Amino acid sequence: MNPLSVDYSELRRLIAEHLGVLSTTMSAPSFVVTCIAVLAILGRSSCASPTPSTPISTLTPHTKPIETLTEVPASTPAPKPPPTLFPPVMLKEPEDGSCWGCHSDFTLRWSCPYTLPPEACYRVRAKWSNSPIDVSDTYHVQNSVKFSDLSLGQSPGHYEWAVTVVSSTNASEYMPVSEESAWYSFDIITPPVVHNISPTNTVQGTSVPVTITGKNFISPITLTIDESLQATVVDSATITAAIPSTLSADAYPVIVKDSLGQGESHVFFAVQELPPTPVPATPRPVYSEPVLGGLDIHGHDVTFHWSWTGTLGVNDYFALRVGIGYPGESKLWTKDLQAQWRFTEQGDYVWEVAICRGDPAEGDCSGDKQIVVSDRCTFWFTPPPPPKDTPKPP
């Protein structure tokens, strides 16, 4: 069949719609060429984007709309539950908030309500307020450890500690298998030392405020000066208190002790006796001098006479002094204007009379006892001869 003799009327109509009028008298070869050109133009127009003059809404889609695909997320594995930890151990001693003195040797103890699992031990965590290391860890299989084994030193300061059960498969890795215990604390304190007290003494019956200086004064403390006194801690080196007026005369050690009963002191406070109230001295009367009078000699007895115009006080007496060549000590005291003394030795005697104050039993009248003294007089005394023997009658 000759292809050029085919009826191309339908093709002609299509070309006419896109290119305008097509002559029906076009020869077969020309028609074929024209068809090829039309087909090329139609191919380009189907791939090109619509011009702005053609609204998108007027285009009729020739394909099925693409369905929107929903992305299905990848499945996330469920988190593994954390391992179950054993309950914490219970700390026993020392009690929370306790105090210990320097160089104390004590043990930290705790109790565990279950048996340690295999490969498990106790981790003791301890920290010290004066240490540059935050926490020091030590490991133990027993439920106790000496304080000295914590490698923290035994210096004064505030300490805290806690215990956890841990498990290990090697010497460097430990995993907790129990909850951590509560944190307990204790303090290591230095005993107080007394250096001085001011003032250092008072008078009996007088209360006086005092200031005590030293070191390591940390509340609570006790101050004892014969009895326990109320003390105020001003700072770690100063205490103030008041000495009561009831202390008797004596020297008392100044004792300052901390809550553990520790303390050092070699300082004393003295309470002096109250001086006696001075008794006003009785003024001495202004006495005139006694005037010596005559003598009466009867054998060995000599009576001395004198005169005086005053009146003797209650404790005032006349004192007779007489001796060979010098009056000597008082022979007797009297309130009379005469006195008698017996002599046995011959000699040149001197005598005087003084007015004295005091006790006659003291004998001598000298020094402050003597108020005034008379002039001196002398006399010669010769003992009388012994009596002759009287002949016996026949």
Task: Identify the pLDDT of residue 131.
Answer: 74
Distance CA 331, CA 323 (A): 9
> Which CATH code, of 3.40.50.1100, 3.90.1150.10, 3.40.50.2300, 2.60.40.10, is assigned to 193-272?
2.60.40.10
Distance of CA 222 to the CA centre of its chain: 10
Cα–Cα nearest to 268, from 190, 212, 192: 212
| Chain position carrying tokens 């299905």 | 72
pLDDT at 389: 67
Give burial (CB, 10 Å; 0-12/13-18/19+) of 349.
buried
pLDDT (0 to 100) of residue 51: 44
- What confidence score (pLDDT) does residue 119 get? 86
Average pLDDT per consecutive 10 residues, the chain (394 residues; last block may be shorter)? 50 57 53 57 48 40 48 63 83 90 84 90 88 81 88 78 88 86 90 93 92 89 92 92 92 90 89 83 79 91 93 91 89 92 92 90 81 92 81 66
Q: Hey, which bits of 11-119 come out as E strands?
A: 90-93, 98-101, 107-111
Residue 99 dihedral angles phi and psi, to the nearest 5°: -125, 150
Residue ranges of the alpha helices (H) in 303-386? none
- Packing angle between helix 28-47 and helix 9-19, nearest 10 degrees? 50
Query: Residue 55: how many CB atoms within 10 A of its CB?
Result: 8
Which CATH superfamily includes the segment(s) 291-381?
Immunoglobulins (2.60.40.10)
Q: What is the pLDDT of residue 230?
A: 92
Sequence-distant (6+) residues with CB within 8 A of 297 are 303, 381
**Edge-to-edge strand ranges of the sheet holding 107-111:** 90-93, 107-111, 144-146
Contact 272, 201 (CB under 8 A): yes
Tell me if the bond preceding 94 is cis, omega within 30° of 0: yes
Nearest-angstrom CA–CA distance, 323 and 351: 7
Neighbours of 10 (CB within 10 A): 8
308-319 pLDDT per residue, tens: 988 898 889 999
CATH 2.60.40.10 domain range(s) in the chain: 90-189, 193-272, 291-381
Task: Tell whether domain 90-189 is in CATH 3.40.630.30.
Answer: no
| Cα 76 to Cα 78: distance, rounded to the nearest angstrom | 6
DSSP 214: E
Q: How would you classify the pairing of strands 201-203 and 268-272?
A: parallel
Distance, CA of 352 to CA of 304 (rounded, Å): 10
Identify the pLDDT of residue 125. Answer: 92
Run of H or E residues at 198: strand 193-198
Percent helix / strand / coil, the chain, rounded to 5: 10, 40, 50
Contact partners, residue 208, CB within 8 Å, separation at least 6: 199, 202, 242, 243
Closest Cα partner for 373 from 340, 351, 389? 351
Q: Two tokens at 207?
A: 């209360």
Instruction: Provide CB contacts within 8 A for 256, sequence distance 6+.
Output: 192, 194, 212, 214, 217, 221, 222, 223, 224, 231, 239, 263, 265
